[in-house]
Amino acid sequence: MTYSPLPRVKRTASGIRDFDEEACEWVEFIKCMRDCGVQIAPLTEYVSLYFEEGTEQQRLDILREQCERLFRQRADLDAIIARLDAKIGHYESVIDEQ
């Protein structure tokens, strides 16, 4: 069994998916979220909640949690980049002195 965060998409009589504008927007949103590392489970939960009334707070919580995770990742990457920059600077100095 495969789980997909993508809401059901209408199909033609021959079974081919017929992506309307709303479905394309969902694909773009899900791709963006997946590209930045959001797992399938929170995406699936978000999409499911989207189609239920009165779930705005839960959806907001999911988005905030994912945003906080991305900020932590960015801080980690910034630290790694700073360390690499220092190492690069060291080797550039060594090479310049030769």
**What is d(CA 14, CA 5) in angstroms, rounded to the nearest whole number?**
23
Q: What are the boundaries of each domain within the chain?
A: 21-97
5: confidence class by pLDDT, cuts 50, 70, 90:
confident
Q: How far apart are CA 53 and CA 63, in angstroms?
A: 17
- What kind and span of H or E run contains 83? helix 56-97
Write the pLDDT tens digit of every residue in 36-77. 999 999 999 999 999 999 999 999 999 999 999 999 999 999
Separation CA 24–CA 98 (nearest Å): 57
pLDDT band of residue 32 (cuts 50, 70, 90) is very high
What pTM, to 2 d.p., does this model score? 0.73
Closest alpha carbon to 66 in 44, 91, 90, 97 = 44
> Above 50 in pLDDT, residue 97?
yes
Q: Is the pLDDT of residue 1 over 70?
A: no
Residue with tokens 């932590």: 72
3-state class (DSSP) for residue 17? strand
Cβ neighbors of 37 (< 8 A, separation 6 or more) are 69, 70, 73
Would you give the distance in Å from CA 40 to the centre of its chain? 9
